[in-house]
Structure 1
Amino acid sequence: MTWNNRLAALRPLLLVLVVWPLLAGCGIYSFTGTNIDPAVKTFSVATFPNNATNGPSFLAQRFSEDLRDYFQRNTTLKLVPRDGDLQFEGQIVAFDYAPAAIQRQDGQDQAGINRLTIQVRVKFTNTKDPKQDFEQTFQSNGDFAATQDITAINNDPAAVGRITARIITDVFNKSVANW
């Protein structure tokens, strides 16, 4: 084997040896896009009460559980019942279903699409770095055919879950990905 062939064969290994210390050296980068200080080991999520005037009965528990699950899947942090290094609390403040697109049929204005909007107020506390604390309202929505009844949507956890999943992603990005 010639010197050039040996060098070509070792090139991927050399690249890993050069790049790995750069990534590992900072100690807070991860391939999930998080930017978590190594001193942070735990997180806690209080149940987010549903303070909206309407919405399905499962919403508070479901949102809180989904937020916990998302952090467990996407970080190495340990979930604790309370007083985590990262703490999430808040409330569901709006669950609104309203026409989003008006169409004229037979001389009358009717909803062509209805939009469900959910707003969640989140208070985030980072006990290791209080400069990262925030309190913010996150919002997302989903459009549904005008023929779909709000009761059917309320009783469909998957439909509501698609909307709250976007809110959870936004909370995750704001709190640990610094986006």
Structure 2
Amino acid sequence: MRKIFQFLFSILIITTFISCGIYSFTGGDVGDAKTIQIDFFRNEAPIIEPGLGQKFTQDLQDLFTRQTNLTLVSKNGQLHFDGEIVDYRITPMTAQANQTAAQNRLTIVVNTRYTNNLDEKKNFEKQFSFYYDYAAAVQLTGSQLDAAFDEIIERITQDIFNASVGKW
């Protein structure tokens, strides 16, 4: 009985060590890439929100440097992102009895081009979007606007990460 226990324990230990070498907690699969280039995402939406392009670009760079071991470079990156913010809109979502909006939705759409210079099959160009709902009586300024940007940008950058190097 003791030999069976030792055998099962050995299998468990071996499996653990083998799987740790393959699994990544971030889910990022950068292949043989060592560098990443993330260009400034210009705000080309019909409504220009000052600082949005800078915040989005910085948050995307931060996500990749935190969750991968890639080095951020300003040119000739083995993985390369560029794009633009193409839509920024506020739309009424629900109506009240007096025909006014009870809730509004801020939506941001980002067009993203991803170039993997080591594996061209992984290249893509697509749009990512997300939204933030808020009460119509609230002005979307100051900390409310910051909270909206944080939520939207976090979701869009994570979607870009998953589409490019994520293996979930």
| TM-score between both structures, scaled by the size of structure 1 | 0.84
* Secondary structure, aligned partner of 2:69: coil
Matched, 1:165 2:154: yes
Residues in 2 aligned to 1:52 and 1:155: alpha-carbon distance in whole angstroms: 21
Equivalent pair of 1:56/1:155 in contact (CA under 8 Å): no
| TM-score between both structures, scaled by the size of structure 2 | 0.89
- Offset, 1:66: 0.1
- Offset, 1:153: 5.9
Equivalent pair of 2:27/2:167 in contact (CA under 8 Å): no
- Offset, 1:20: 2.9
- Offset, 1:31: 2.2
Aligned length: 168
Equivalent pair of 1:48/1:61 in contact (CA under 8 Å): yes
Residues in 2 aligned to 1:153 and 1:93: alpha-carbon distance in whole angstroms: 23
Aligned CA RMSD, in angstroms, stands at 2.2
* Secondary structure, aligned partner of 2:96: strand
Report the equivalent of 2:15.
Answer: 18
Q: Cα–Cα, structure 1 residues 88 and 154, in superposed 2: closer, same or farther, change >3 Å?
A: farther
- Structure 1 unaligned regions, length at least 5: none
- Offset, 1:35: 2.3
Higher relative contact order (CA 8 A, sep 6+): 2
Residues in 2 aligned to 1:128 and 1:64: alpha-carbon distance in whole angstroms: 23
Q: Tell me which moved more, 111-120 or 49-58.
A: 49-58
Report the equivalent of 1:33.
Answer: 27
Report the equivalent of 1:81.
Answer: 74
